[in-house]
Amino acid sequence: MNLVLLLALADPFVGTWKLRPDKGKSGFESYVVTVTATASGHKWSYDFVVKGMGQHMKAVILTDRKAGTFKYLDEGGKLVAEGKLVMKSPTEWETEGTLKSRTSLSADGKTMTVVNTAPQPNTLVLDKQQQ
């Protein structure tokens, strides 16, 4: 078994997460995040629709988790922002930079809460989807 697969099995963030529209004030019609393990950390793939816009937008965040950095890329792979990743615990982290947020998992690993403070404040509550 390869190292990436082993990391994915042990990592509670890895999987597909879907916005729970009844929770938080998100400003999104839909919001799906797919987190995959990479040899050096995570790839977070986003697919979302902003309320009133009607078109899907896609983005990617790459993080190495160990060195504490992240890069935010648009759908075409262009760098949009980058910053520092601060691990608070194995199930909680903060991003610092142009994008500021705090992400945490529930004790049972089934719910992820993201509190964004910049560039626009919002709270997202996402449920982990069955694999």
Look at 35 and 41; give whichever has higher pLDDT: 35
**How far, in Å, CA of 98 to CA of 117, rounded?**
10
Q: Which of 27, 57, 53, 28 is nearest to 45 (CA)?
A: 57
Which CA distances in Å does 26 have to 14, 15, 49, 74, 97?
22, 21, 11, 20, 20
Q: What is the mean pLDDT of the chain?
A: 83
Per the structure, how many domains does the chain have? Answer: 1
**Predicted confidence band at 47 (pLDDT cuts at 50, 70, 90)?**
very high
Would you say residue 8 has pLDDT above 60? Answer: no
Q: Supply the range of the domain harboring residue 117.
A: 3-128
pLDDT 10s digits, 60-78 = 888 876 668 888 888 888 9
Read off the CATH number of the domain in which 59 is found.
2.40.128.20
